[in-house]
Amino acid sequence: MVMSHAVIQKRPHEATVAPNLMDLDRLRSEWSWDAVRAELDLPDGLVNQAHECIDRHAAATPDKVAMIWEGSDGAIERYTFEEMRRQTNRFANVLKRIGIQKADRVFVFADRIPELYFAVFGTLKAGAISAPLFSAFGPEPVAERVRRAEGAMIVTTPHLLPKIDEIRGELPSVRHVMVIGHRAGATVDAANLDYAALMAEASDDFVTEPTGAEDWSIMHFTSGTTGLPKGAAHVHEAVVNHYATGKYALDLHPDDVYWCTADPGWVTGTSYGMFAPWSNGVTQVIYEGGFGAGRWFDIIERHRVTVWYTAPTAIRMLMKAGSGVPRERDLSSLRFTASVGEPLNPEGVVWGEEATGLPFHDNWWQTETGAIMIANYASMDIKPGSMGRPFPGITAGILDDEFNEVTEPMREGQLAIKTPWPSMFRTYWSDEERYRSRFKGEWYITGDRAKRDEDGYFWFVGRDDDVINTSGHLVGPFEVESALIEHPAVAEAGVIGKPDPIAMEIVKAFVSLKDGFEPSDQLRRELIGHTRQRLGPGVAPREIDFIPSLPKTRSGKIMRRLLKARELGLPEGDTSTLED
Ligand code: PRX
């Protein structure tokens, strides 16, 4: 990581609103999670994320707008906290009526429409576990995830329903498929539940399930080097971290209009596209559509967005579109901008200042940590290229290969977080052994490598495993390899992340063919088409090379590191375990 950029110093007189966090060291020395809990409602010691995010604000500020929704077609809808309370109560009543029990897994497979948000919070009110899935997934990743979590129900929309119909027969745990048809003007087949009809009959009143701090709330699937994605499960207590990081890392103030560009199929889209802003009682913009430089800056201008949370790939695409686009818009409402998900190039931080007048504040966390762990704060100087400093209440460390802490500045090692903290994941669903393997003594091992400088700023070095980060989305090579070898022509497949100037990495596959099949451009296109159909466009390989055989260890494991080294023309390293 380059450190040549000048530190971006904070000029306090420029701020229109005083940051919530004025002095990181002081707040750290005084930190108490109980003091944070005291700022939440937590009636009778119970905690439910839906209560903290919706009902408590519906009681205090019922007419305040919680969600400004903008559809892909430009339609705009506004929902107050009171309206959100009623809609989520209705959904919770519907779940009870159809027999959804506490801790049942309720999947949502939908684009970013208001009903997705009603469904997630209604599920939490009913005490069930919400599991949102990325709508661009193909049928295979959906089936893997529902199967692993033994999902009881899938909520979806008419245009995504064909993917569910394709896999439904493989998913015996699924008791109901519910279809949100009314937006598409579609009627719902009698084989499925009709969202609109059930919601119309449901009551506005619901008594939220009395969940405690350790009751399950949400599950997100994350990829590892081996095996299929794991369901990282979180508990209601996580809202304590969501609230605190919303307030101090994203600097949310009551009058903010906040926009997080992430999709709820990924953890950023729930922790920071639902829980952090709404536990802080803040109005947020939700945009259904995808990326577009002009469109995105229009949204900031139109809705007078004050705090904007996005990702490095998007920032690099905005940079590509040029500074002219933001200069043509009135972005004077913006007060704080932040980024997460992959390394943010120093150039991206600096470009933010040039284009919007504000540098992007990088921060670091993971599905497993549930909330921001390391951040650049509103009041703190930014070192472009650094992820910032640990959140108060969080201890981050650099460990050597024997898991001992390294205190010397700028020594590279494994990035670890000292346990526990409220939003820490509590298991990988049905894989307790793998969950336990992530901890060494008092440390949670993140799987990333990093360094800490003499001022306590952390610098990302890279992943410590073969997981691919493409546009901020983690892709497990095994999942892609499995889909490739389903094709009749493929004997073996090895998948790596290939560096890319925009997406950071793209998924690249190496394939050896079965006897009787010959490499050709047509077969390459067919394999890409096959994986796009099975996995979805974000997960399928963008490039495929045919090779006669894959490098393997003597025990038969594909050596992805060697494939990568060869691809990049790097030294091959230790090949002593390579089979003859
Ligand atoms: O490798 C790190 C990278 O993204 C991983 C976490 O991905 P996921 O579990 O999908 O969570 C996404 C929500 C943040 C990390 O292990 N990563 C995340 N933030 C950064 C980052 N890499 C470099 N810099 C960051 N700021």
**Per-residue H/E/C for 10-37:** CCHHHCCCCCCCCCHHHHHHHCCHHHHH
222: Cβ below 6 Å to ligand 1? yes
Residue 216 lies in a domain: yes
Residues 352 and 483 in one domain: no
β-strands 176-179, 389-390 pairing: unpaired
Cα gap 309→318, rounded to integer Å: 14
What distance in angstroms lies between residue 464's CA and the mean position of ligand 1's atoms?
Answer: 12
Nearest to 287 by CA among 277, 275, 279, 295: 295
267 lines ligand 1 (CB under 6 A): yes
Residue at 433: amino acid letter:
E
**Centre of ligand 1 from the C-alpha of residue 346, in Å:** 17
340 lines ligand 1 (CB under 6 A): yes
In terms of domains, do 492 and 444 share one? Answer: no
Q: CA angle, 467 as apex, 362 and 236 as ends, to 5°?
A: 60
Pick from 336, 421, 411: which is nearest to 373 by CA? 421
Looking at the fold, whether 208 and 112 belong to one and the same domain comes out as: yes
Question: Are residues 560 and 566 in contact, defined by beta-carbon separation less than 8 angstroms?
Answer: no
Same domain, 512 and 385: no
Determine if ligand 1 sits within 6 Å of the CB of residue 417: no
68 & 186 share domain = yes
- Kindly give the distance from the C-alpha atom of residue 274 to the centroid of ligand 1, in angstroms, as a whole number: 19
Q: How far is the CA of 463 from the centre of ligand 1 (A)?
A: 9
Sign of CA dihedral 173, 176, 181, 182: negative
Q: How far is the CA of 446 from the centre of ligand 1 (A)?
A: 10
Is 110 touching ligand 1 by the criterion CB < 6 Å?
no
Classify residue 356: in a domain, yes or no: yes
Residue 16 lies in a domain: no
Residues 206 and 64 in one domain: yes
> How far does the chain reach from its first CA to its final CA, in angstroms?
37
Global pTM value? 0.94
Q: Do 517 and 412 fall into the same domain? A: no
Structural domain span for residue 391: 24-449
Contacts of 398 (CB under 8 A, 6+ apart): 405, 406, 411, 412, 413, 414, 415, 416, 450, 451, 452
Q: Are 524 and 546 in contact (CB under 8 A)?
A: yes
Same domain, 439 and 515: no
| Helix (H), strand (E) counts: the chain | 20, 27
Nearest by Cα to 496 from 483, 478, 520: 478
Task: Specify the CATH number for the domain of residue 119.
Answer: 3.40.50.12780
Per-residue pLDDT 10s for the chain (580 aa) are 444 577 887 654 455 789 999 999 999 999 999 999 999 998 888 999 999 999 999 999 999 999 999 999 999 999 999 999 999 999 999 999 999 999 999 999 999 999 999 999 999 999 999 999 999 999 999 999 999 999 999 999 999 999 999 999 999 999 999 999 999 899 999 999 999 999 999 999 999 999 999 999 999 999 887 788 999 999 999 999 999 999 999 999 999 999 999 999 999 999 999 999 999 999 999 999 999 999 999 999 999 999 999 999 999 999 999 999 999 999 999 999 999 999 999 999 999 999 999 999 999 999 999 999 999 999 999 999 999 999 999 999 999 999 999 999 999 999 999 999 999 999 999 999 999 999 999 999 999 999 999 999 999 999 998 999 999 999 999 999 999 999 999 999 999 999 999 999 999 999 999 999 999 999 999 999 999 999 999 999 999 999 999 998 887 788 999 999 999 998 887 777 777 5
**Cβ 140 under 6 angstroms from ligand 1:** no
> Could you tell me how many residues make up the chain?
580
* 440 and 497 both lie in a single domain: no
**Closest CA to ligand 1's atom 11:** 366
Number of domains within the chain: 2
Instruction: Answer whether residue 573 is part of any domain.
Output: no
Chain position carrying tokens 């949100």: 180
Q: Which atom of ligand 1 approaches the CA of 467 most closely?
A: 1
CA of 469 to the centre of ligand 1 (A): 8
Q: Are residues 475 and 418 located together in one domain of the fold?
A: no
For residues 352 and 376, give the distance between their C-alpha atoms in angstroms, rounded to a whole number. 14
Angle at 389 between CA 219 and CA 291, to 5 degrees: 55
Instruction: Judge if 283 and 220 occupy the same domain.
Output: yes
* Whole-number Å distance between alpha carbons of 351 and 467: 29
302 inside domain? yes
Does the C-beta of 504 come closer than 6 Å to ligand 1? no
CB 337 within 8 A of CB 352: yes
Same-domain check for residues 397 and 477: no
CATH number at residue 525: 3.30.300.30
